[in-house]
Amino acid sequence: MNDNDIVSTILGSLEGGDAEPSEQANAEVTPLPTKKGKLTMADKIAKAAIALPPITPRETPPKQPVYSVGRPSTQDYFRVCPDPAYTAAFLVLEYPKKSTSFKDKKTYLVLDESLHRPGKGFSVRDFYLCQCNSGRDFLLWGVGRSNDSGWENAWLVTAREIVLAATKSWVCLRPVDQDTGYRYDVSTKITREPEWPTLPFSDLVAKAFGSRVIEDDSHDVIRKLDGAE
């Protein structure tokens, strides 16, 4: 190798050696690492936030109707079911008989007619299914019957008249006095028709009386009437 070859070799190594010009052009340049910016308070809060699940509407179960036994309120309008299948007569017992408080006196359904004790608060009543406008609950109204001689007081006579009127219109009881009995008002504002239950009448009676059903003489109330301690 002469002096000229040595000089060419040295110059070539300084200019990139044996690498092709195209390879030098395509070489990737690694960027120098840069210092990350400082997080703001909003960034920190966003990072710490926990995503909430979507809110689903709560399903409210439909209101279950209430069945009870008693006389319609003088503060509410009511209707009587016109279907004869939803009326029946039952032997009932009001106990305690001597109680003057309506809250203390309870009406029991008596399933055995042989349990009847004269003068102890037993009676046969005609029960009618009523729907109250307020709350749309149901009521079994037991209307008394005439005594053995066939005599009926004004309460019984007017009660039956109101039952008949209530099969066609919304009415409200208005008690007057013992000589006049009941009177009633007919609503001119309530236009809806009642929605009557589809359950058999016997099921409704069972719901209304609940635990106040006397089947035999082993019941505590009968035992008390018979003088048992």
- Rounded mean pLDDT of the chain? 84
User: Whose structure tokens read 């359950």?
Assistant: 199
Which tens digits make up the pLDDT trace of 182-221? Answer: 999 999 999 999 999 999 999 999 999 999 999 999 999 9
The domain in which residue 79 lies consists of 67-225
Q: What is the tens place of the pLDDT at every residue in 20-36?
A: 554 444 555 555 554 56
CA dihedral 77→165→103→215, nearest 10 degrees, is -130
Residue 59 lies in a domain: no
In-domain check, residue 206:
yes
Strands 78-80 and 122-132: antiparallel
Beta strands, E only, the chain: 67-69, 78-80, 87-95, 106-110, 122-132, 138-144, 171-177, 181-186, 213-214
Q: In this structure, is residue 9 part of a structural domain?
A: no
Query: What mean pLDDT comes out for the span 168-194?
Result: 90
Dump the DSSP string for 137-169: -EEEEEEE---TT----HHHHHHHHHHHHHTTS
Per the structure, how many domains does the chain have? Answer: 1
| pLDDT above 80 (res 157) | yes
pLDDT tens digit string along 55-82? Answer: 888 888 888 889 999 999 999 999 999 9
Neighbours of 184 (CB within 10 A): 20
Q: Are 133 and 173 in contact (CB under 8 A)?
A: no
Evaluate whether residue 122 is within a structural domain: yes
103-149 tens-digit pLDDT: 668 999 999 999 999 889 999 999 999 999 987 899 999 999 887 66
Instruction: Check whether 7 has a pLDDT greater than 50.
Output: no
- Is residue 219 in some structural domain? yes
Which helix or strand (DSSP H or E) is residue 220 part of? helix 220-225
**Does the reported pTM lie above 0.75?**
no
Judge whether 217 lies within some domain: yes
Nearest to 207 by CA among 104, 137, 114, 134: 137
Is residue 220 in a domain? yes
Q: Closest Cα to residue 130, out of 166, 160, 161?
A: 166
In a domain, 17, yes or no: no
